[in-house]
Amino acid sequence: MNRAFCFPSSRRRGAACKGRGPKARNKNKALAIDGLNLLHKQTVLSTSSAASSENSVSCNDRSMTSFSDAYFKSGSQPHTIAALEVPPVVQRFFDTIKQRYTEFLNYMKTPQYKTSIEQQIEVEQKRKSSLENEVQKLEKQISHLRKASLQQLKNRLGEA
């Protein structure tokens, strides 16, 4: 007997508890096993393909499978992007883009393209050097103005 759960507020601490006997426990255990067996049988019957239609009324699987075949077809879809028809306007656009791109690639292979790129590089290098010279001039002017303004400030403070 388990005495840990037998202490109502009106009883003494050391008094024995009258609990359920071993027969009651065995009876509850048998009922639990029977319930488990019944649940297992129902589950097996409802999921088996040989189940009667009466058992499948409560289960959605059978009713869903009859409609699912109509909506969902197994296998891969035959349509791919390459298999779809392209409208003629889009195809003409693709052709013009392809033609322009190949013309430009061919032009890039010519010596004229190389010389024009070299000329553009030279022009940009000259522009860069002139901008760097301008930056140096401006920095010199700024430093000169700072020195001059600092000198004027010192002169005014000395006069006062």
Residues 94 and 63 occupy one common structural domain = no
pLDDT at position 14 is 60
Q: Residue 15 domain-assigned?
A: no
C-beta separation of 46 from 55 below 8 A: yes
Q: Residue 124 domain-assigned?
A: yes
Using a 10 angstrom Cβ sphere, with 0-12 exposed, 13-18 middle and 19 or more buried, the burial of residue 103 is: exposed
Count how many domains the chain has.
Answer: 2
Residues 55 and 106 occupy one common structural domain = no
CA–CA gap between residue 64 and residue 142 (Å, rounded): 84
pLDDT at position 86 is 85
User: Domain boundary at 42, 71, 100, which?
Assistant: 71
pLDDT at position 67 is 54
Residues 55 and 92 occupy one common structural domain = no
Q: Residue 83 domain-assigned?
A: no
Give the domain range for residue 46. Answer: 22-71
Residues 101 and 155 occupy one common structural domain = yes
Cα four-point dihedral sign 54, 55, 61, 62: negative
pLDDT at position 51 is 47
* pLDDT one digit per residue (tens) for the chain, 160 residues: 555 555 555 555 665 555 556 666 666 776 777 777 888 888 888 787 554 555 545 555 555 555 555 555 556 666 666 667 889 999 999 999 999 999 999 999 999 999 999 999 999 999 999 999 999 999 999 999 999 999 999 999 988 7
C-beta separation of 6 from 19 below 8 A: yes
Residues 65 and 122 occupy one common structural domain = no
Q: Residue 53 domain-assigned?
A: yes
Residues 64 and 96 occupy one common structural domain = no
